[in-house]
Amino acid sequence: MKMWDGRFQKESDKALDAFNSSISFDKRLYREDITGSVAHAKMLGKCGIISEESSRAIVAGLEGILDDIESGKLEISPDAEDIHMFVEQVLSERIGDDGKRLHTGRSRNDQVAVDIKMYLKRMILEIKSGLLDLLSVIHGLAKDHTNAIMPGYTHLQRAQPVTFSHYVLAYAQMFMRDVSRLNDTYSRADVMPLGSGALAGTTYPIDRQYTKELLGFSGVTQNSMDGVSDRDAVIETCFDLSLIMMHLSRFSEEIILWSSHEFAFIELDDAFSTGSSIMPQKKNPDVAELVRGKTGRVYGDLTALLSMMKSLPLAYNKDMQEDKEALFDAIDNTAACISIFSKMLATVKVREDKMRAAASKGFINATDCADYLTKKGMPFRTAYKTVGKMVAFASEKGVGFEDMSLDEFKSFSPLFENDVFEAISLDACVSRRLSEGGPGPASQKRQLEALTAFIEKETSGSDS
């Protein structure tokens, strides 16, 4: 028997039951569903819509169901239409007519909307916690390698010298923005739709503010039709997750390149690498590759949600049942990727010698050489062309600037003096970059301090 079968004279087809059912995936909302129902029942009793005795019986029954589900004593039936109907049916079986009073003044439409928002709030905090753990790993790596000079790249071509610390702190900036975005999304998810009814509120004298306080929301929705049909927070969360995955994917690409023999900047720990079934020498960066691959999957979840919602009229439509599988998939995969990536990154061995050796090739100090001439009075564009000719000359000879004699330098400009060799040394090229946000020592120190402060502030929960 269906909870909604009063109007129908025929039983629903079993094919419809299977097609219509969402219990296989929305059962993970059982905690939120029961919590929301407990608050609703308390509000009904407080407002005199049902008796205090019925309210207490409902609350006790719901708490018993929650305990039994979590202990394994009660198994969620795969034959139920959805988690909402399952909980209400079990409640009615256990406490009788009082269980049938629970749904007074609400609809499944606002019920599922509040369940999803409660779930989102919990999951946002879990994802955020994982990102803060990752940021702590990045902080440790950066702090340990502030003097590890390596090539910076544009177009994947060696460009200018930076440090490994500065390089990984760039990813810290990305993940810090991700945390901030999650905070923003949390604030918009923190508005309670319960009390919107099916779409037009209710004639019962409910107290939404009381229910809001019980459930820990900061506000209530201001339009009942929007309250039940809004899935912005779901979509926004998936967008946030997509950006997180994009940042993880970019970092993964770096890990894949750096761990190759062609770069050899890092060595992955055996515990986070795999081998080949045929080539015994292989050590594959499968963690990074899977993170990179799963990024497309999370993008797909976001696209599915946007496509599902793009033409829906107000208010609730059954299409919206499709929001959960995409949301759950995006959350599960992003959380798993953050966790395994953090563990992999924490065990990486950084090969500072290989990085410096790579930095010593490719004329990545050419800009500094041009800056040297500019500081001696030569216009920058003239200096640029002069150094370009020097690169062509040194390349033809198969040497670097450091291998050229002072006379060879002077053949390109009389402005060159002995101090040029110190000016174009890799250490000087990095340490003299004094601009805010650059790779110089003072800037790296500020970045590390700012990251420490950010982690401490967010860990304390001051924003949520």
Catalytic residues: 155, 276
Is residue 252 a contact partner of residue 341, using CB atoms and an 8 Å limit?
A: yes
d(C-alpha 458, C-alpha 453), whole Å: 9
Q: Which residues contact 155 (CB under 8 A, 6 or more apart)?
A: none
Compute φ and ψ for 238, nearest 5 degrees.
Answer: -65, -35
In the Cβ-directed half-sphere of 132, how many Cα atoms lie within 13 Å?
Answer: 20
d(C-alpha 353, C-alpha 229), whole Å: 58
Q: How many helices (H) and strands (E) does the chain have?
A: 20, 6
Is residue 282 a contact partner of residue 276, using CB atoms and an 8 Å limit?
A: yes
Question: In terms of Cα–Cα distance, which of 81, 70, 83 is closest to 114?
Answer: 83
Q: Which residues contact 169 (CB under 8 A, 6 or more apart)?
A: 138, 142, 444, 447, 448, 451
Residue type, 134: L
d(C-alpha 172, C-alpha 441), whole Å: 17
d(C-alpha 417, C-alpha 424), whole Å: 12
Backbone torsion region of residue 216, taken as left when φ is above 0, otherwise alpha when ψ lies between -120 and 50, otherwise beta = left
Q: Which residues contact 367 (CB under 8 A, 6 or more apart)?
A: 160
